Structure 1
Amino acid sequence: MIIDNNFLSKDECSYYVNKANKNVEPYDWDKRVVFIHDDTSLISKTINYFKQYNLFLKLDDIHIQTWPVNSSSDLHIHGDKCDWDDGRKNTKYNTLIYLNDDYDGGEFYTNNVTLKPKKGTITLFDGTETYHGVKPVKKKERYTIILWWKK
């Protein structure tokens, strides 16, 4: 798992939170998604960042995910081993970029790690092997950008 606490600036995080608040679109998962497929600047920045780890990633999907109070996600994986058809059969890695840290609860967790990231933090992990989830959000809304990378 890769974790860097200083990927996005506070201003960049605020920009995406504002974008989420203005543009939430209906989607299968509780209408909490803003698609940002056309944000070539962020996509390029993220791809170039991971090159330092000799990872040459190809984007499958990207969106802003809002997590209102009482929302959560049980441990799960994506791809061929997923217990349901999550539409991620062609993905390998997941990236999360945390846009705020003023919420309570909402920790990212795996079988081995529990993480309450700071605003601007980026992570990367193998979403087909690492069971991961989000603990219940208790206070204020949680905002993340999620990127899925092709196999």
Structure 2
Amino acid sequence: MYFEEKEFLSKKECKEIINIYKDNLDKTYIHGSKTTGTKPLKIKNIHYSIFNKILNVIENKYVKKFFNKCVLSNYEIVLWPKGSYMNSHYDEGDECGFFIYLNDDYKGGETELVGIKKIKPEAGKLILFKNGNMLHKVNKVKIKERYMLGGWYV
């Protein structure tokens, strides 16, 4: 099961979140287990009103209606530099996950729900899906860099 909502965020909101990432570069780290160097910024303890707004809408519109009682376990802004990707995998241990594309001025970096759909990146688009049984991957970013906001519920 997955949901896709275009224009969940405005381009202005997407730029605001990218700027929050850039303002907190000193708190990012390199993640390299299944990827080639994505740079997440964990934002659970960074307080900006835009995140409360986003999480409230996601939880009320999707999570509470379609999933068991869930609690947000983590959310982060992730920079996917040119050349980065993630192999096919399941997000084990999480009930559901979401991500929002924050930009679309790059080539590659499509999300694939394996055997179901290749999702075209569009700034502001929300994707939410059930974890554990949804095989997915991110194709290699070929030109420029990809930003996304992602979160996981247990």
Question: How far off its partner does 1:36 sit?
Answer: 1.7
1:1-150 maps to which residues of 2 (within 5 A)? 1-24=2-25, 25-27=27-29, 29=31, 30=37, 32-37=39-44, 38=47, 39-50=51-62, 53-55=65-67, 57-79=70-92, 89=93, 91-112=94-115, 113-150=117-154
Determine the C-alpha separation between the residues in 2 that align with 1:93 and 1:20. Answer: 24
Q: Quick one: percent identity of the two aligned structures? A: 29
Q: 1:74 to 1:31 in 2, by over 3 A?
A: closer
After superposing on structure 2, the runs of 4+ consecutive aligned residues of structure 1 that deviate more than 6 Å are none
Distance 1:51 1:70, change over 3 A: closer
Structure 1: 5+ residue runs without aligned partners? Answer: 80-88
Q: Is the deviation greater in 60-69 or in 35-44?
A: 35-44
Q: Is the 8 A contact 1:5 1:117 kept in 2?
A: no
**Equivalent pair of 2:39/2:80 in contact (CA under 8 Å):** yes
After superposition, the Cα gap between the structure-2 partners of 1:31 and 1:141, relative to the gap in structure 1 and judged at 3 Å, is closer
Mapped partners of 2:85, 2:129: distance in 1 = 19
Alpha-carbon separation, structure 2, partners of 1:92 and 1:53? 13
Q: CA deviation at 1:53?
A: 4.5
CA RMSD of aligned residues (A): 1.9
Secondary structure at the counterpart of residue 75 of structure 1: strand
- What is the distance in 2 between the residues matched to 1:145 and 1:66? 9
Count of aligned pairs between the two proteins: 140
Return the offset for 1:139: 0.7
Q: Deviations over 1:86-138 (max 9, x none)?
A: xxx3x111101110011100000122211112110001111211111100001
Letter in 2 for 1:66: L
